[in-house]
Structure 1
């Protein structure tokens, strides 16, 4: 049977494809055009005001090279005075796109529904800031959250990392780095939403191509080339902290929740990453959602399938 979109998102997905069919695809390694396209797509969105019961406080922390790294603390109003869990959050964008403000609505919705506060990180992007800047920014943010746990009413033993797409790859790389640096207390959980974890070339599936509306093969090569250098993509010069699938040892990592759609470019690498985590005796929960493409939230608003996905994510957020 050929690939099929989930029936609940078929109409909206095809409508989006029709609306964008005349928009020229950026050339390979054209980062700026991809950023403009993302900004234009973001501008088409609906209400971006976020949940009314969530407040945001902005902080900064200085990195080793003197950069003031922006941090955004999202917390639900009226939270319990007892120290509880917190999430360190990394947005998606293929290593080259995005900032926390563009994900404000979804972050605040997670916080409102789960009751778990998020520290969202405006990590620096490639190619202006190639590896290891991104993962080092993540590590600095993790350290800041631990060191400020008491004033933020956080239990430092209950800090999880959460990331979407490129942010999921960054979260997975951070877990490897924190493990190898003996970070304490250890990270409690990692929640990886269709994570971008492997720089090695993906064999093109021509039947899948029509469903890659948010991130395709050329986008992927562009993102990895920006992060690790065009000449290094797919070679042994790429660090496991940039591309976590390259890690030979996945043991002693935190409990993991990982999901991906059946029509996602990252499907096979995420299935394999989850398999290897489980084989390394990491407590792993994995979901493969049939008929869903990468970034399906953008075309699945109001559907039962998206409601089910969100229920699983909220449960994961309340599990550590």
Structure 2
């Protein structure tokens, strides 16, 4: 397959999603480059909400605590933000979640109001959101090792956390989805905690930037090829694009996808990650594994965050929730 795709030939955006895109400021649609990365990180840290534990408790609806747990060997402690609906008797299933932000931005707190409202409350889930180290200050494997150390700690302290160690779903969005996929591979290969499932929302999986969609949608105003390459180089440094890069650094590099927890993979038809994410789900099936794949038509990267009320965003949220429900119900049988 050649890269004959031109911007004119890209799948059109869903009309409702396109309207939300028009409301975005010009600055937020500028590509991230090595030259502006530091400024963009500072801008993100200032603009992205960072709700306090008190705010997250929402007048007592949720029990919230910030935990400092042992980090990876030779690494600092890892902060996990623990939240669950108040008054539920455990042990609860756990969603172990990695935030998005291209490995260079984001925080563990900002994603929690939504996770609590959409999943923890209706499904009776506990949530742990991981504050992993960001690139380029931290580079592979440090962010992933932070996530792994937190997962091992959580599984080993299930009783005191009031969670069921046999019902841990790992998940994340964008960079967090890539970390969740890498975490599933790493836990399998190290004999670590086995997750019940992996929730991979528009995951960032391939550092090479060579898929058809990464060129067809290179100039996408939400997250294009320039921004993506900047983020991968921040994470990998000199190892970016290297032939021998481990699959834990970029899960698209994995040649063995057997023995993994059931995966939920979703992506938009109009974003650069489309082809790598579809290929990942397909490779799981080819290895005899379980995956549910959704490609949302006319959706750009992170569409449901920008246009939460769009019909497509509601359908995507419902589909994720139903997958989680089915997974947890099967585990309870």
TM-score, with length taken from structure 1:
0.89
1:87 equivalent in alignment to 2:95: yes
Task: Sort the Cα spacing of 1:126 and 1:271 in 2 relative to 1 into closer, same or farther, 3 A.
Answer: same
**Residue equivalent to 2:38:** 32
Quick check: 2:81–2:109 contact (8 Å CA) kept in 1?
Answer: no
Q: Deviations over 1:29-56 (max 9, x none)?
A: 642122134346636xxxxx55832332
Task: Sort the Cα spacing of 1:108 and 1:133 in 2 relative to 1 into closer, same or farther, 3 A.
Answer: same
Q: CA deviation at 1:99?
A: 0.9
For 1:20, which of 26, 32, 35 is the aligned residue? Answer: 26
**Count of residue correspondences:** 310
Matches within 5 A, 1:1-320: 3-16=11-24, 19-20=25-26, 25-28=31-34, 30-39=36-45, 42=48, 52=58, 53-63=61-71, 64-79=73-88, 81-109=89-117, 110-184=119-193, 186-202=194-210, 208-210=217-219, 212-229=220-237, 231-318=238-325, 319-320=327-328
Q: CA deviation at 1:312?
A: 1.2
Q: Deviations over 1:72-125 (max 9, x none)?
A: 11101222x242311110001111111112223223223223321111000111
Structure 1: give runs of 5+ residues left out of the alignment. 44-48
Whole-Å separation in 1 of the counterparts to 2:274 and 2:91? 37
Task: Sort the Cα spacing of 1:25 and 1:193 in 2 relative to 1 into closer, same or farther, 3 A.
Answer: closer
SS in 2 for 1:118: strand
Quick check: 2:206–2:250 contact (8 Å CA) kept in 1?
Answer: yes
Whole-Å separation in 2 of the counterparts to 1:257 and 1:25? 29
Task: Sort the Cα spacing of 1:234 and 1:51 in 2 relative to 1 into closer, same or farther, 3 A.
Answer: same
SS in 1 for 2:16: coil
**Residue equivalent to 1:46:** none
Q: Deviations over 1:190-219 (max 9, x none)?
A: 000000011112357666345x23322111
Quick check: 1:29–1:226 contact (8 Å CA) kept in 2?
Answer: no
Task: Sort the Cα spacing of 1:209 and 1:221 in 2 relative to 1 into closer, same or farther, 3 A.
Answer: closer
SS in 2 for 1:294: coil
Task: Sort the Cα spacing of 1:131 and 1:21 in 2 relative to 1 into closer, same or farther, 3 A.
Answer: closer
Structure 2: give runs of 5+ residues left out of the alignment. 1-8, 50-54, 329-333
Task: Name whichever structure is richer in helix by fraction.
Answer: 2
Quick check: 2:70–2:77 contact (8 Å CA) kept in 1?
Answer: yes
Task: Sort the Cα spacing of 1:278 and 1:207 in 2 relative to 1 into closer, same or farther, 3 A.
Answer: closer
SS in 2 for 1:156: strand
Quick check: 1:51–1:112 contact (8 Å CA) kept in 2?
Answer: no
Quick check: 1:29–1:225 contact (8 Å CA) kept in 2?
Answer: no
TM-score, with length taken from structure 2:
0.86
Q: CA deviation at 1:295?
A: 1.0
